[in-house]
Structure 1
Amino acid sequence: MTSTTRRFRKAKKHSHDVSVPASMQPKPLTKTTVMVVMVLAAIYFMLPVWWLVVQSTKSYGEMLVTHPLWFAEDNSFAANVRDVTTYDGGNFARWVINSIFYSGTTAFIGTLISLSCGYSFSKFRYRGKKILLGMILVGMLLPASLLTIPMFYLFNWMGLVNTVWAIIIPCSVSPFGVFLGMIYCDTIPTELIEAARIDGAGELRIFFGIVIRLLGPAVVTIALFIFVATWNNFLLPLVMLRGKELLPVTLGLYTWQNYKAEILTAQVLTGSLLGVIPVIILFLLLQRYWRAGLAQGSVKA
């Protein structure tokens, strides 16, 4: 090893050992308080998940006599899964497929709408822009449940009630997604877009060839937000859909819970656990891009 290489490695090591000034270091009491708060928050969020996992391994009778946060002696998870997948003509699998279809379609369409609108707000000047942006911000403040009944009357007049469009169209329009799209598009240098225009590129080519590619992590972030919001949506399908064929998994399990002739608590809890697995898998697969997208959206060029 040459002396130059040793000096380079030594300098590189010291570059990572830059200490924080003493005035900026948190006090021991602050560190302890933060850790305690974080541990309590983790317990608060993970306790319902743990309870759901434990209850999914029990029969209904075992739920009544065993500790709610610990497993029973006999593991009934396999029997519960079999009951969930075979009960009611195997509708559970159809409901999961419906949820994946609704969430995936709205995530694709909603992300495209959010980024295109955000790109327009960020890079274009036109009359009424501030008014439209204000309407988007007001839409972020309004709860979605407030608009469900008016949308039902509108979709009923259009003949779209009890169709997939009654779920896809409302869930594809996300004011929060448009706001995120605008923040992400602000990070793109305007000079880059102007250079592409000078080279003769059209607006559609600039958007799909440059903007979308530069905002890859942002696309994943917005798509995940819309996907999860659609997956967890309960009130809109409850109002818009009739029958069992088009129900998402959340509403389908709710219909089981309301059966009076049978007690289906074990099946509903097991179905709830199985129904959240696709969302967990999606988050794990896209976690790296999602984190990058959040970091990118927090910095404005």
Structure 2
Amino acid sequence: MSTQTARPVRTTVQAPPPPIPQPPRAPRQLTSKLAVHAVLLVFALYTLMPLTWLVIAATKNYRDLFATNPFALGDFNLWHNLGELLAYNDGIYSRWLANSVLYTVVGSLLSTLISVACGYAFDKYEFKGKESLFGLVLVGVLVPATVVQLPLYLLASEAGLVNTYWAVLIPSLVNPFGVYLARVFSEGYVPGEVLEAARVDGAGELRTFVSVSLPMLAPGFMTIFLFSFTASWNNFYGALMMLNDEELYPVNLGLYAWQKSVYQQPELYPLVIIGALVAVLPLIVAFLCLQRFWRSGLTAGAVK
């Protein structure tokens, strides 16, 4: 009787393929990359230099502003200057800041809501003269805001709105560029099939817009709001034309009034500088908080 033993199976382990050698990077590519980074660095320095000077100058008193190097630190008087700013003329700067918040936040929210609703209507509905009316909106994008300030002033004067809050708020509600962006966002974010499903379920047009379309348009809404916020906060010429009462000034117009008086009142120099720094902070905070919506919103319509 014999027993057979199974032959051991010989396994072969294949060696991994040798790594593919990478071609050496061409010197021309390195030169191009360095040139691009150098240009970006120059633009970054150019952009940040005024803000850097503003931060440094806000820590100086009146004597140090003119006796020291513009980018050299003097005596640290930031908190003292801030206290003087808020206490000057019975706290008028705080009133200007509150006015700017009112004009900007309320005006931007209403303007963005109107723009999104109009852009949505241009995209999803068919009506007579639709493209002609949208072309008129695009013409409004091409007209500079300063050109229409005089006609707006004459209209506000006839309506008795000059030197009131409404004289600044009502013109800010019209945003042709926001309507254009809203139509692009609606084309990219709101599928027609979803709207048809909502209508089949019995939802009306208003409820479909508020409950279905508006949440989908959230990135676009925040992008338009950010643009409108920036434009409203920096709206200087419109407020200059419409307002005469110091109590109604936004912060930029108030600082301009102080700047005109620095030759008669030199003590206003530090207040103008620290006031300008405080006025810039809301824009920085808005961009930092809303940048993720802004980035996603800018890609709307790029991929369909």
TM-score computed with the length of structure 1 as normaliser: 0.88
Instruction: Find the aligned partners of 1:269 and 1:262 in 2 and give their Cα distance.
Output: 14
Q: May I ask how many residue pairs the two structures share in their alignment?
A: 277
Q: Distance in 2 between matches of 1:276 and 1:69?
A: 19
2: CA distance between counterparts of 1:38 and 1:166? 41
1:262 is matched with which residue: 260, 265, 274? 265
* Residue 61 of structure 2: aligned partner: 59
The answer to whether the Cα contact below 8 Å between 2:111 and 2:173 also exists between their aligned partners in 1 is: yes
Name the CA distance, whole Å, in 2 between partners of 1:46 and 1:204.
46
CA positional deviation for 1:22? 11
| Per-residue Cα deviation, 1:180-237 (whole angstroms, up to 9, x for no partner) | 1011000121111122122221111111111110111111111111111000110000
Q: Is the 8 A contact 1:102 1:230 kept in 2?
A: yes
Structure 2 match to 1:276: 280
**Structure 1 residue 110 displacement after superposition:** 0.7
Q: Report the Cα distance in structure 2 between the residues aligned to 1:176 and 1:77, rounded to whole angstroms.
A: 39
Matched to 2:204, the amino acid is G
Residue 200 of structure 2 corresponds to residue 191 of structure 1: no
Tell me the CA shift for residue 300 of structure 1. Answer: 5.2
Whether the 8 Å contact between 1:221 and 1:289 is mirrored in structure 2 is: yes
Q: Is 1:179 the counterpart of 2:180 in the alignment?
A: yes
Worse-superposed segment, 177-186 or 256-265 = 256-265
Q: Kindly state the Cα deviation for residue 250 of structure 1 after the two structures are TM-superposed.
A: 0.4
CA–CA separation in structure 2 for the residues paired with 1:176 and 1:22? 48
Which residue identity does 1:299 align to in structure 2?
Answer: A
Structure with the higher fraction of residues in helix conformation: 1
| Greater Rg by CA | 2
The answer on whether the counterparts of 1:172 and 1:226 sit within 8 Å (CA) in structure 2 is no
Question: Equivalent residue of 1:27, what SS?
Answer: helix
Detail structure 1 runs of 4+ shifted over 4 Å in the superposition: none
Kept after mapping to 2: 8 A contact 1:183/1:300? no
Query: Aligned residue for 1:117?
Result: 118
Which residue of structure 2 aligns with residue 10 of structure 1?
Answer: none
Note if contact 1:57-1:80 (Cα within 8 Å) is conserved in structure 2. Answer: yes
Q: Which runs of 5+ in 1 are unaligned?
A: 1-20
Structure 2 residues without counterparts, runs of 5 or longer: 1-22
- In 2, Cα distance between the equivalents of 1:218 and 1:237? 28
Question: CA-to-partner distance for each residue in 1:77-131, whole Å, 9 max, x for gaps?
Answer: 1221111111111100111111011100111101111101100111111111111
Give a deviation string over 1:46-80, Cα, whole Å, max 9, x none: 111101111111122211121112212x1121221
Matches within 5 A, 1:21-40: 27-40=29-42
In 1, Cα distance between the equivalents of 2:184 and 2:65? 48
Query: 1:22 and 1:300, CA in 2 relative to 1: closer, same or farther beyond 3 A?
Result: farther
1:224 to 198, 201, 226: 226
Q: Report sequence identity in percent.
A: 42
What residue number does 1:13 align with?
A: none
1:299 aligns with 2:302: yes
Name the CA distance, whole Å, in 2 between partners of 1:298 and 1:85: 46
Q: 1:106 touches 1:230 (CA, 8 Å); kept in 2?
A: yes
Tell me the equivalent position of 2:289.
285
1:6 aligned partner = none
Partner of 1:48: 50
Kept in 1: contact 2:122–2:134 (CA 8 A): yes
Q: 1:285: how far off?
A: 2.0
Aligned Cα RMSD in Å? 1.8
**Residue in structure 2 matched with residue 153 of structure 1 by the alignment:** 154
For 1:293, give the aligned amino acid: G
Q: Which sits farther off after the overlay, 144-153 or 194-203? A: 194-203
In the TM superposition, what whole-angstrom CA distance separates every residue of 1:247-277 from its partner, at most 9, and x where no partner exists? 1000011111112530111110100101121
The residue type paired with residue 137 of structure 2 is I
Aligned-partner residue type, residue 113 of structure 1: I
Which residue does the alignment assign to 1:252? 254
CA distance, structure 2, for counterparts of residue 62 and residue 221 of structure 1: 41
Q: Which has the higher mean CA deviation after the structures are superposed, 257-266 or 227-236?
A: 257-266
Query: Structure 1 167/22 Cα, relative in aligned 2: closer, same or farther at 3 Å?
Result: farther
